[in-house]
Amino acid sequence: MSACATEQPAPAPGAPQQRTLVIYAGRTEAQIGPILGQMAQAIGVKLDVRYGDTSKLSDQLVAERQDSPADLFISQDAGTLGLLESKDLLAELPDGLRQSVPGAFRSVSGHWVGTSARARVIGYDPRQVAKADIPRGTDDLIQRRWRGKIGFVPGNASWLSFVTALRVLRGEDGARSWLLGFKANNPRRYESHPQLLDAVDSGEVPLGLLNHYYWFEKSARVGVDKMRAQLHHVTGSDPAALVNIAGVGALRGDDVPLAHKAVEYLLSAPAQQFFADHLAEYPVRAGISSTRHRLPPLAEIKGPDLNLNRLVSVQDSLKLLAEVGLG
């Protein structure tokens, strides 16, 4: 786990000393470092940001419990926030903050909120996969025609969320059966979504299980006309159509009011515009849309009717993945 403290100007003599907000961040510094810097200036704090893997940081928080220095946890997915909530580690958020986020993207009991949303997609190389042949859903991915031709990122929280959604929607036996079929198809493992997208784009692998925003980030950087990889959105009740969130929760402790100020900023118009424009994610605040990316409306994607609070059983998903040999 890496740490990064945002540099702040030294206070003038006699000025009150700035307080330090300790953040455990399950998103990368490249993704959220700029907006956290803006947040620090806006609410007048110093930052001690400790970046790492969402699941590992969650495990650390569970181990540290009341001894944790963390004031705020930024998660890559809803399930991990739900897990911390179930361990009674998150403080309740003020009603005004909760109500500013649609019900589909926040905790039922008010302990975490989404800050942005993302859709699962199938990336494909049109030179190798005709449009008519693109897998239309989860079950198509285990057809033998795709043996050795699908890439995925097993160490990523989004894959874990998909597996959890699969368990919730199909039950343990249904999820196990699908995972065994997926494993039998010899899927290709990648370390990260950008690496997987590059592999699809270069033709190294015909299909990749991704989050939508990686394609938009890369196309903004290299040009849409330079992108060979394309995206297919699965729709309907299929787990492959899952729309998840990146989110935030305040840890129980002495600095809960300060953490609430940070959450309030992450839900503010400037922060929501940052997520939409710089990360190509869906803002959770109404009335904001990207000025840089032409994202398909979430209403058109029509993901499964699945309350994100039900993704809390991530530990059971990890056990199942280990059991079938995909851990």
Question: Which has the closest alpha carbon to 308: 102, 25, 32, 123?
Answer: 102
HEC string of the chain?
CEEEEECCCCCCCCCCCCCEEEEEECCCHHHHHHHHHHHHHHHCCEEEEEECCHHHHHHHHHHHHHHCCCCEEEECCHHHHHHHHHCCCECCCCHHHHHCCCHHHECCCCCCEEEEEEEEEEEECCCCCCHHHCCCCHHHHHCHHHCCCEEECCCCHHHHHHHHHHHHHHHHHHHHHHHHHHHHCCCEECCCHHHHHHHHHHCCCCEEEEEHHHHHHHHHHHCHHHCCCEEECCCCCCHHHCEEEEEEEEECCCCHHHHHHHHHHHCCHHHHHHHHHHCCCEECCCCCCCCCCCCCCHHHHCCCCCCHHHHHCHHHHHHHHHHHCCC
Q: Are strands 188-189 and 150-152 parallel, antiparallel or unpaired?
A: parallel
Q: CA 139, CA 293: separation in Å to the nearest integer?
A: 30
Q: Are strands 113-124 and 150-152 parallel, antiparallel or unpaired?
A: unpaired
Q: CA 217, CA 280: separation in Å to the nearest integer?
A: 7
> Does 190 belong to an annotated binding site?
no
The structure tokens listed for 104 are 């589909």
Count of other CB atoms within 10 angstroms of residue 294: 9
Encoded amino acid at 189, one letter: R
Residue set of the binding site: 213-214
Binding positions for Fe cation: 213-214
